[in-house]
A = this chain, B = another copy of it.
């Protein structure tokens, strides 16, 4: 997930340049009602899902079901290597289901994201889509035959957990990776996300964080003359010159977003997940900022960071700092809308607990912006009422995994709630590394987490089979 500075609608995004993995799947369509919870609208439409049965035991092998999140489903399929890595061992069928209103699962074609049509984009409707799909995959059996294990990362992890919580009769258990289910209004201070981003830089090098913290006033003071903005334009290889205060703000937002992303994808190996970056990118960029810098020297150093962030492959001619939420091959419109309706996650910066300029979170302003943009007002309490935040004592068979280097971990479940709602904490990993393919550079923590996952999945399958045996006898 990406979190965009300034507007503070968090963007939970997987951006993939080119697919690295060579996973094979069939692409299929499944018809669902537009509205599962009412009958005023009788339209139906197709959601897409990807399926692989290479290793499946058709007798009673499990179904590994990825609850797709905000993006084209192929992106998730290509980057959730953990499911592919363990499918053979579990003799599992693999299914990746695309979330309505993303990718090509559009209820109203290219008009789906219009304000007149977008209103059926909610987590509850997506979960009901998945429920119907799972039922179809079980051949509409009253007593399902295959244990279904839900997987998801980020918002997809929230959905995986919610899927088990709301549909335990359909889902045997859920691996919810980096799922900030405790990030709704009132649940935690709004500055947590950026405090963790900042920590990530402190861990790399405290001076690095100090330099970044100083940089905002240095930039603002510097860009007051045409000479200086021309210099910066050239030095930072900006696509557009800095002409006014909006441009300055865009540039600062872009930088803040860059630091957040670096913290989120601070993986122990080079990857093009989100975007192409070297191993441990925070540590790497901090090499430019590991001694106290001021003035233009600081700006030159940040230029190197920008270069690494935007042009690690050497193919990007300039820094497109104005592009805002139109990021890569993902249309983030859908998520912006979700953040304006039910996925209200307060985020703020203080300039004290974090290395950013102070920027409060204000529901009144968020509401006004959302109403202007989408003609809706957020319902800030609805996610808590529907899904309960961390009040999960009655839930079961969910693993919440989080890496402490991940800014989203602040909204995650970091200690086990019960014997069957467990937390797995990886102290040295970033955003849902445990769902990614095995890598020689994986730290011990993620290896342990994956063993934990496998052990839990085995347990859930056993329970399902016991129940099934019991049902057969009835």
Distance A169 CA – B227 CA, assembled complex (angstroms): 60
Which of A32-40, A53-61, A231-239, A436-444 lines the interface with chain B? A32-40
Instruction: Known contacts A135-B381, A394-B169; decide if A187 and B142 are in contact (CB<8 Å).
Output: yes
Report whether A37 and B39 are in contact in the complex, using a CB–CB cutoff of 8 Å: no
Interface residues of A in 44-67 (CB under 8 A from B): none
Of B40, B135, B168, B392, which contacts A394 at CB under 8 A? B168
Q: Considering only CB atoms, which chain B residue lies closest to A374 in the complex? A: B39
Of B42, B131, B142, B392, which contacts A389 at CB under 8 A? B142
Query: Is residue A391 within 8 Å, beta carbon to beta carbon, of the partner chain?
Result: yes
Of B125, B170, B186, B379, which contacts A142 at CB under 8 A? B186
Distance A194 CA – B459 CA, assembled complex (angstroms): 42
Query: Is residue A103 within 8 Å, beta carbon to beta carbon, of the partner chain?
Result: no
Residues in B whose Cβ lies below 8 Å from that of A168: 388, 393-395
Interface residues of A in 397-439 (CB under 8 A from B): 397
Q: Considering only CB atoms, which chain B residue lies closest to A341 in the complex? A: B39
Query: Is residue A386 within 8 Å, beta carbon to beta carbon, of the partner chain?
Result: yes
Distance A143 CA – B394 CA, assembled complex (angstroms): 15
A residues whose Cβ falls under 8 Å from a Cβ of B: 33, 35-42, 116-122, 124-125, 128, 131-132, 135, 140, 142-143, 166-170, 186-187, 341, 375-377, 379, 381-382, 384-386, 388-389, 391-397, 467
A interface SS class: loop
Q: Considering only CB atoms, which chain B residue lies closest to A119 in the complex? A: B40
Instruction: Known contacts A394-B168, A394-B169; decide if A37 and B122 are in contact (CB<8 Å).
Output: yes
Number of copies: 2
Distance A385 CA – B382 CA, assembled complex (angstroms): 22
Of B35, B131, B377, which contacts A385 at CB under 8 A? B131
Q: Considering only CB atoms, which chain B residue lies closest to A466 in the complex? A: B393
Instruction: Known contacts A169-B392, A376-B39; decide if A384 and B119 are in contact (CB<8 Å).
Output: no
Minimum distance in angstroms from A173 CB to a CB of chain B: 10
Q: Considering only CB atoms, which chain B residue lies closest to A376 in the complex? A: B39
Distance A389 CA – B118 CA, assembled complex (angstroms): 32
Residues in B whose Cβ lies below 8 Å from that of A382: 36
Minimum distance in angstroms from A126 CB to a CB of chain B: 10
Distance A121 CA – B117 CA, assembled complex (angstroms): 21
Of B38, B142, B379, B392, which contacts A119 at CB under 8 A? B38
Residues in B whose Cβ lies below 8 Å from that of A397: 394
